[in-house]
Amino acid sequence: MNRTLMGLLLGFAAAVQANTPDPQQFQPLKPSHPQAVAAHLAASLIGEHHYRPLALNDTLSEKTFDAYLKALDGERMFFLKSDIDQLQKARTQLDDAVLSENLELPFAIFNLYAKRAVERFSYARSLLKTGFDFSQNESYRYQRENEPWAKTDAEVRDLWRKRVKNDWLQLKLTGKDDEAIAEVLGKRYENFLKRMAKLKSEDAFQIFMNAYTMSVDPHTNYMAPRTTEDFDISMRLSLVGIGAVLEEKDDYATIKELVPGSPAALSEQLKAGDRIAGVAQGANGTMTDVVGWRLDDTVALIRGTADTTVVLDVIPAGTGPDSQHKLVSLIRKKIRLEDQAAKKSVLTLTDKGLPRRIGVISLPTFYEDFAARQKGDEDYKSATRDVSRLLAELKEEKVDAVLVDLRNNGGGSLSEAIELTGLFLGSGPVVQQRNAQGEINVAKGLAPGAVWTGPLGVLINRGSASASEIFAAAVQDYGRGLVIGDTSFGKGTVQTMINLDRLAHHQAAQLGDLKLTVAQFFRINGSTTQLRGVTPDIALPTTADAEHFGESSYDNGLPWMQVKPADYHAVADLHSAVPVLQQRHERRAAADKDYQNLLEDIADFNQRRNKPAVSLNEKERRAEHDAQEAKLKARDPEAAKASGTADPGTPENGGPARNHGQDPGKPDKKGKDPLLTEAACILGDAVELEQARLEPTGRSVAKSERPDKDQLTGESQATP
């Protein structure tokens, strides 16, 4: 080890040892030899086999350093400015630590963070003895990602005083008395301190390694080895659960994605970015505050026996700490492939006095039972097979058009995306794939002919990614149908899993796995879905925050680029119809109450999301809440009555439910889905325009003959 590195380690060790807390609360962590080997092996793979090979050097060390600090203290609540000044000396030393297989330096940084975290929460707990004055006019800035670190102990203590005061006020506005509030917050802060006591070297190593791997690209990740006693944090492999992939962010268990067909997905009450503040067992169980808990402990509380109820206290994605919470009740169940299957429904609207029927196929993922297919099972389950059967049923029901709903479909099997595209296009190129050597392979659909040749629409949103983008892009490039909704996620890269133990010839699982980006997708027109996603022909409103969700939210995503177009021929040109469809959409939306309510909700949602601070004045906070309640009551008195009138604070330990935290753009309690409804109407307009084009008279259509959203109905929903 060089002298500079040794000096840094001695300095960090001294900082951690000074005023070290009770060893029962926190003990400095040390790296293991297998972890050092895993880090070096991962660096070698990234430097040689990544789609964009990147050697671990001083430049990448600096990026890793910044990502590491952000992972540890993203809101700049723990470290002091003097800590950061000291840590800056390590900016170009992290590569040396990995390549020399000596991880003491990144562990020393983690230990300093842990020491500061214990100090901050110990101070927070001490503030509960005196209470607060809520008549003062001050505010708490909870969005601190771009704020400077506190320069002095007095400054950081004042920051934490405001944080605790805000926590207190949230509970006060739910009707809790001071004694109950002190008890709830005392347990919350104590839980965090206990969590620090349970830290393992694997925790520090996982955070550091992902700071490194995700500095290369957002989808290259390191996964620590699992043991039989570890919980599967993603819950994908759980025998029983709710089907939510969780990650830890800012002391909250945060939903990363929903498993299609799971209780969490089917409830339509949860989405990526939602934060779980509490968990209760049973419909009437006591709510346990889980803020600050270890992620695996929270997962253990959520998991349970099949057919039992778990209630989650949820803070909606993208909202501030004073947002409206909601209680989500779910029945635990086994996640089966059948639950993820495509579903169909038929929406009927009136046009020219006659019913126009729009068949809707909702596809949550591009699934395939690989094992059954490999065994030669002729009845193996797949998205293409199910959708083909549903299309046949819709043809029997004489629908006028088909709308494929890919909202929040995060992808799945590439082969299924290609084969499913063939149901609408027949044979021909679907997607191009370029590897690290620059070699391009064109994947083609092999279907002898299309199953559905009628009018087609594809509904996407920001949660539509990967395979969904391949399907939507092919439909758009061929001119086969309209793409409606929001710009998709923008993930145009391919990853592969590498078991590090196999490479190192370890018998016991010690090194973990590396998910490595090895290729990139390109549309048949030569452009890539990477970064920019698929842009819809007709855009619908969205609640997605492009700054924080989607490939463009990452500062190191692979760039957008182009290659040579594939050899294909468009089947139609729909561009000339888009201006007319857009005009009709805008006119219809302006006159539709549900749609305008949606726009208003989205505006409110974005306003709350972009508000970086909240008032700590009780009178002002109550006034804000009362205004929101009055607005809800005026729009829907019954729904407002059912939602209750308490403040949108955390309903810990059995507090009142918050039912009006509904995410704009999702179906409401009455089952209304304004975006799906409008997409069906747009597709109905397209059918009308095509029929008018084919009519010899070419007569224009009166306004009274256009599809009427108020007369739209749903029928015959079926699950294969």
Residues with a known catalytic role = 466, 477, 491
Burial 345-383 (b: 16+ CB within 10 A, else e): bbbbbbbeeeebbbbbbbbbbbbbbeeeeeeeeeebbbb
Cα–Cα distance measured from residue 497 to residue 218, given in angstroms and rounded to the nearest whole number: 15
Closest-CA residue to 649 (of 255, 293, 319):
319
∠395-399-400 over CA atoms, to 5°? 120
Sign of CA dihedral 83, 88, 91, 93: negative
Residues 452, 425: contact at Cβ < 8 Å? no
Cα–Cα distance measured from residue 335 to residue 245, given in angstroms and rounded to the nearest whole number: 13
| 478, 480, 485, 488 alpha-carbon torsion, rounded to 10° | -30
Q: Counting Cβ atoms within 10 Å, is residue 412 exposed (0-12), middle (13-18) or buried (19+)?
A: buried
Give the side-chain half-sphere CA count within 13 A for 638: 2
Residues 511, 491: contact at Cβ < 8 Å? no
Q: Collect all residues with Cβ–Cβ distance below 8 Å to 326 and sequence separation of at least 6.
A: 269, 313, 314, 316, 657, 658, 659, 660, 661, 662
Cα–Cα distance list, 149 to 65, 69, 123, 196, 685 (Å): 16, 12, 18, 22, 55
Amino acid at 657: A
| 661, 665, 668, 673 alpha-carbon torsion, rounded to 10° | 180
DSSP for 437-477? T--EEEEEE--SS-S--S-EEEEE-TT--THHHHHHHHHHH
Tokens describing residue 538:
């007709």
Cα–Cα distance measured from residue 16 to residue 4, given in angstroms and rounded to the nearest whole number: 19
Q: DSSP label at 410?
A: -
The CB density around residue 58, as the number of other CB atoms within 10 Å, is 12
Report the Cα 229 to chain-centroid distance in Å: 27
Burial 159-173 (b: 16+ CB within 10 A, else e): bbbbbbbbbbbbbbb
| Three-state secondary structure call for residue 402 | strand
Tokens describing residue 703:
């306004």
∠410-411-417 over CA atoms, to 5°? 150
Sign of CA dihedral 262, 264, 266, 271: negative
Residues 575, 532: contact at Cβ < 8 Å? no
Cα–Cα distance measured from residue 494 to residue 471, given in angstroms and rounded to the nearest whole number: 16
Q: Collect all residues with Cβ–Cβ distance below 8 Å to 186 and sequence separation of at least 6.
A: 125, 128
Residues 328, 312: contact at Cβ < 8 Å? yes
The CB density around residue 286, as the number of other CB atoms within 10 Å, is 11
Cα–Cα distance measured from residue 485 to residue 274, given in angstroms and rounded to the nearest whole number: 22
Cα–Cα distance measured from residue 695 to residue 703, given in angstroms and rounded to the nearest whole number: 18
Tokens describing residue 609:
């999301």
